[in-house]
Amino acid sequence: MATAQATTNILLRAPQGAFRNEPFTNFGEYEKAQTMREALTRVGDHLGVEYDLVIGGERLRTEGKIRSVNPARPAEVVGVHQKAGAEHAERAMQAALKAFETWQYVSAAERASLLLHAAAKIRERKFDFCAWLVYEVGKNWGEADADVGETIDFLEFYAREALRLDAATTPIQYPGEKNELLYIPLGVGAVIPPWNFPFAIMAGMTAAAIVTGNTVILKPSSDSPTIAAKFVEVLEECGMPDGVVNFCPGSGATFGNAIVAHPKTRFIAFTGSKEVGLDIHELAAKRQAGQLWIKRTILEMGGKDSIVVCADSDLDSAVDGVLASAFGFSGQKCSACSRAIVEESVYDAFVDQLRQKVTAWTVGDPVKNLKMGPVVNAAAMKSIQGYIEKGKQEGRLLAGGNAVETPEKGYYLEPTIFVDIPRDGVLAQEEIFGPVLAVIQARNFDDALEIANNTEYGLTGALYSSDREKLAIARERFFVGNLYLNRKCTGAMVGAHPFGGFNMSGTDSKAGGPDYLYLFTQAKSVAEKVG
């Protein structure tokens, strides 16, 4: 690993001295599109490879396997992975504990250097990582590029934040003393990321944990373990010591629960469904024999996100923002617009524009870079179709509603819009996690805000209005962790939009913000008498 001085030099060199978000790739440029096609071919030649568990630097294989498949072509295996069970939990814990003995004392500069070097390697291979995302979870090129870019952003941002924490001081120096405030690591943590941002969220939670001196047992989603394996390979290339990150795909009910319940687990960073998050929180709260601490849970658990469209808004922009938020990555984002709440005086005009513009949302193989690809698996497709049937009972089907048949039997659904949905209906209250939009009519602005706040979630929301007073009211009364004014409610940018929600959306962890690393540390005050 690089020396502390080398890390300082990296940070001081332009353009890396100040944090800047990774630019998006313009695939409209022929050269960029051609480079992406070449990456798809190159990565396609490596599909189906078998990957090992990595525990304490050792490669292990198991009898049980996890097969990650391409949701656009379910017969195509992206990667074959070992299936860690409860019997591997203790081995992974011991490896992480052993690594923690030394990793906790590695300087913040050296730990930051690991992240910066990993970011550089990922940037060099950006198109290959995009291709892996296309194949493993069905992202189109733009969605894949955003995921890879956010990964780079997390690594770059958290490296700088770790150095800032390392330089923290007390607010005052008490007379006659030398006062210090040290942010020290917690210990061994479980990182349990989702499949929908299998690179950015997985890497972000892992990076935040290790850059602050913790060690990690990483249990990726069974729908997206390959991209996590590729990330661990990058960390190893960059000199990460054995045991700092232990790569353990496995069942949540066996391996995952065993790690969460383990008395030596210090924290759990989780992104996923409300139900699983609450189960983790409950299990972590129960003190186990030999447990010395209260486990910390860092949870992001989804949303039922609304875009409010006022009568004084730019309807063209509002319709575009709703469609992009509702159907980007087939609605498989916790931040996706699931409800459009529209003032009655412009309701019919808004619905008419939705009907016209949704026809531009083409569905098909993400390798071809269409607007919408598949949903992640057969179970997700069945669940979403159940909600579509419920929508036909609760409201009026405006567009979509059907599966899209392909020779490869991919998991495709049309972008689906229901209008005239009651504010307390199933489609208005339950997280669907698919390309289904409920449109709800509101009497006026106050009524629209009341509807927007009537779910158990509080993650993202947006308001379209040209009235400055309404924007000011929304700042105070629209109860979400991430509020967007006159723009879509997806696409949080690291550094600019610290991300995390209220209520059943989680613990408001604010990933990508200046407070996030505090969640992976504990503050130690030191006072020395002098003179």
**Residues that are catalytic:** 300, 334
Structure letter (DSSP) for residue 253: I
> Is residue 17 exposed (0-12), middle (13-18) or buried (19+ Cβ within 10 Å)?
exposed
Contact between 205 and 386 (Cβ < 8 Å) = no
Which tokens hold the place of 332?
A: 């498989």
Query: Which residues are CB-contacts of 292 (< 8 A; sequence separation ≥ 6)?
Result: 263
The distance between the two most distant Cα atoms of the chain, rounded to a whole number of Å, is 81
Residue-wise DSSP of 209-252: HHHTT-EEEE---TTSHHHHHHHHHHHHHTTPPTTSEEE--B-I
Question: Which of 194, 224, 186 shows the shortest CA–CA distance to 104?
Answer: 186
Answer whether the bond into residue 15 is a cis peptide, omega within 30°. Answer: yes
3-state secondary structure of 343: strand
Which residue's entry shows tokens 């004392």? Answer: 105
> Is residue 204 exposed (0-12), middle (13-18) or buried (19+ Cβ within 10 Å)?
buried
* C-alpha span between 257 and 239 (Å, rounded): 30
* C-alpha span between 300 and 437 (Å, rounded): 22
Which amino acid makes up residue 355? R
